[in-house]
């Protein structure tokens, strides 16, 4: 046994030198990834690190905080993170020795049996020359035994099975964490988008009511002109039809507001009545028109939670290939059992005189497993190919979504600016008609028509403002959330620069 100890220590020194996991491979689609987004413009700083606080709206800030704190999807994702972290700790425990303590107390009382024990008792009890015999021979044996001990066992991870299983579990935990961030990002984005729907719906209702009042006055003016023979009947019918169409659109606008408020209440786990009371105040989020700078690096996609999670699952699959390949090699287990043993409790604690130790080393090698090991390796490799495909598709989808979001944001900003210029022209025309009417050279009907045109452009501007807010939110979401110009983002590398070296040894046939 002493001769085996140096060999065991040498094997322990070699532990950790082998890793049978495949090298990190760059999916072909990621190798073709452009260096930046072609639709970005060189226009100034872009700071999505502020997120919804950029809108400078305390109502929106409170809603997003509530959505992040009390969302069922987020609660589920958080529980999955805790579950995956616990699984990683379980896998990590196999890297360390297992030590157990034992305390034993035994008492035995059994009869003497067998001719040898009986003859021995008779010889001790019989006298000489027919003299009186000795003491009555014993018929039972009693025995007390007490022991204290430690038991330690350790598997030498020579071929990386345990380390790769832990690496896979750890990567799964990282993927669960990124899934959690993805759910958080989605909850915040949906809350913001729904809030801007509420803002736009309320503005559309306000403008519809103002238009109805204006058309009522316009109908009265046209009826008076018709009675005086100053206009044709078709003009009166047309104005009355416009009034009815506008009145008919009001219930639709109110239904859109109720629907948006109901969805917003669901996001923060409130009843619709409570949400309506919560929003019973002016809602004035500030529109932000930050332009996306030129040369925004495509590597920022690595900070998207879905991309990072896909990469972590690819790493988990890679580690599991190494763990399954290691199963074809022998496993070595070391055990040690120091302890004490005595006939009473005091003797069990007499370490100096009653100590004992057991040391052992065992080797187990697979000879025939019916193809189980080979099938496990093939399944692990197939899963690695699946995860590589998923990762490549995720990166490609992320780039397309980010590029489309940037393009959509730029188009919505331009549309808003054009409608804003149109509003200025409509307001100027209404002011001109008002001055003409006051000067006696214009009619009141022309002024009402010009004012109605202002309301129509304001409604279009409100919708355009919502488009700007939602498309800017889309840029945040497709780039993975927080990022600030001049600050190094915390990204996951799309392709790590230094793949791990792997040995090429093949194990015995399964």
To 10 degrees, what angle do helices 161-227 and 444-478 make? 180
Residue 311 inside a domain? The answer is yes
What is the domain-level CATH number for residue 214? 1.20.1600.10
Question: Is 97 strand, coil or helix?
Answer: coil
The torsion of the CA quartet 478, 481, 487, 492, rounded to 10 degrees, works out to: -70
Question: Domain total for the chain?
Answer: 1
**pLDDT confidence bin for 310, thresholds 50/70/90:** very high
pTM: 0.73
Question: Is 29 strand, coil or helix?
Answer: helix
Helix, strand and coil percent figures for the chain, each rounded to 5: 60, 10, 30
Residue 59 structure tokens: 């109502």
Residue 58 inside a domain? The answer is yes
- CB-based burial label for 477 (10 Å; 0-12, 13-18, 19+): buried
Residue 476 structure tokens: 């945040």
Residue 144 structure tokens: 């007390």
Contacts of 92 (CB under 8 A, 6+ apart): 166, 169, 170
Beta-carbon count within 10 A of 225 CB: 16
Distance, CA of 140 to chain centre: 70
- Rounded-to-integer distance, Cα 307 and Cα 300, Å: 10
Arithmetic mean of pLDDT, 290-304: 66
The whole-number pLDDT of residue 348 equals 64
Residue with tokens 């129509």: 456
Question: Which of 356, 473, 462, 346 is CA-nearest to residue 408?
Answer: 473
- Rounded-to-integer distance, Cα 222 and Cα 230, Å: 9
- Rounded-to-integer distance, Cα 485 and Cα 483, Å: 7
pLDDT for 145-191, tens place per residue?
777 778 888 888 888 899 999 999 999 999 999 999 889 888 888 99
Residue 124 inside a domain? The answer is no
Residue 119 inside a domain? The answer is no
Arithmetic mean of pLDDT, 50-54: 65
φ and ψ of 155, to 5 deg: -100, 125
pLDDT for 189-208, tens place per residue?
899 999 999 999 999 999 99
**Average pLDDT for the chain:** 77
Beta-carbon count within 10 A of 478 CB: 24
pLDDT for 420-429, tens place per residue?
999 999 999 9
Higher-confidence residue of 136 and 142: namely: 142
Question: Which of 445, 438, 447 is CA-nearest to residue 218?
Answer: 445
Catalogue the E-assigned strands of 301-417.
Answer: 331-336, 339-342, 355-356, 359-364
**Domain assignment of residue 433, given as a range:** 20-77+175-318+374-479
The percent of residues in the chain predicted with pLDDT above 90, rounded, is 27
Report whether 43 contacts 412 (CB < 8 A): no
Question: Is 110 strand, coil or helix?
Answer: strand
Residue 115 inside a domain? The answer is no
Any idea which of 57-66, 129-138, 234-243 has the lowest mean pLDDT? 129-138
pLDDT for 351-372, tens place per residue?
677 777 788 888 888 888 889 9
Angle at CA of residue 63, ends 57 and 65, nearest 5°: 105
Residue 105 inside a domain? The answer is no
Residue 87 inside a domain? The answer is no
The whole-number pLDDT of residue 144 equals 77
Residue with tokens 């923060």: 268
Q: State the DSSP string of 251-301.
A: HHHHHHHHHHHHHHHHHTT--HHHHHHHT-S---PPP--PPPPTT-BGGGG
The whole-number pLDDT of residue 419 equals 93
Residue 122 inside a domain? The answer is no
Distances (CA, A) of 139 to 107, 135, 208, 484: 17, 12, 111, 91
Beta-carbon count within 10 A of 378 CB: 13
The whole-number pLDDT of residue 73 equals 87
């Amino acid at each position: 046994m002493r001769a085996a100890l140096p060999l065991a220590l040498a094997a322990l020194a070699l532990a950790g030198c082998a890793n049978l996991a495949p090298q990190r491979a760059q999916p072909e689609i990621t190798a073709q990834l452009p260096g930046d987004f072609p639709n970005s413009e060189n226009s100034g700083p872009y700071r999505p690190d502020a997120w919804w606080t950029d809108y400078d709206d305390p109502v929106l800030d409170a809603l997003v905080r509530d959505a992040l704190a009390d969302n069922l999807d987020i609660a589920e994702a958080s529980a999955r993170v805790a579950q995956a972290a616990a699984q990683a700790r379980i896998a990590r425990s196999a890297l360390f020795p297992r030590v157990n303590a034992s305390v034993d107390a035994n008492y035995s009382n059994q009869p003497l049996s067998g001719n040898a024990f009986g003859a021995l008792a008779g010889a001790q009890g019989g006298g000489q020359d027919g003299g009186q015999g000795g003491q009555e021979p014993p018929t039972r044996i009693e025995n007390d035994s007490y022991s204290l001990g430690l038991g330690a066992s350790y598997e030498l991870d020579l071929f990386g099975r345990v380390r790769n299983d832990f690496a896979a579990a750890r990567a799964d935990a990282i993927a669960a964490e990124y899934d959690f961030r993805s759910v958080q990002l989605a909850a915040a984005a949906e809350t913001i988008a729904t809030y801007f729907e509420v803002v736009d719906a309320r503005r559309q209702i306000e403008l519809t009511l103002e238009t109805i009042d204006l058309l009522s006055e316009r109908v009265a003016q046209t009826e008076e002109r018709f009675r005086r023979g100053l206009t044709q009947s078709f003009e009166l019918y047309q104005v009355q039809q416009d009034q009815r169409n506008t009145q008919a659109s009001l219930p639709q606008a109110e239904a859109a507001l109720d629907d948006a408020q109901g969805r917003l209440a669901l996001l923060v786990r409130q009843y619709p009545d409570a949400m309506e009371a919560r929003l019973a105040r002016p809602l004035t989020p500030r529109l932000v028109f930050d332009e996306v700078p030129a040369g925004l690096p495509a590597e920022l996609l690595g900070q998207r939670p879905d991309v990072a999670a896909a990469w972590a699952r690819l790493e988990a699959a890679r580690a599991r290939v190494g763990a399954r390949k290691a199963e074809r090699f022998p496993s070595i287990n070391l055990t040690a059992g120091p302890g004490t043993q005595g006939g009473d409790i005091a003797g069990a604690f007499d370490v100096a005189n009653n100590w004992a130790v057991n040391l052992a080393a065992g080797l187990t090698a697979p000879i025939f497993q019916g193809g189980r090991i080979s099938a496990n390796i093939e399944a692990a490799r197939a899963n690695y190919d699946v995860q590589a495909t998923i990762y490549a598709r995720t990166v490609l989808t992320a780039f397309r979504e980010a590029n489309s979001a940037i393009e959509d944001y730029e188009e919505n900003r331009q549309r808003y600016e054009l409608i804003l210029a149109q509003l200025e022209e409509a307001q100027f025309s209404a002011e001109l008609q008002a001055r003409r009417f006051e000067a006696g050279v214009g009619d009141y009907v022309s002024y009402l028509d010009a004012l109605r045109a202002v309301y129509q452009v304001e409604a279009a501007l409100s919708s355009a403002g919502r488009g700007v807010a939602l498309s800017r939110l889309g840029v945040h979401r497709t780039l993975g959330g927080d990022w600030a110009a001049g600050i190094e983002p915390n990204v996951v590398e799309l392709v790590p620069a230094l793949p791990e070296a792997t040995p090429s040894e093949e194990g015995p046939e399964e």
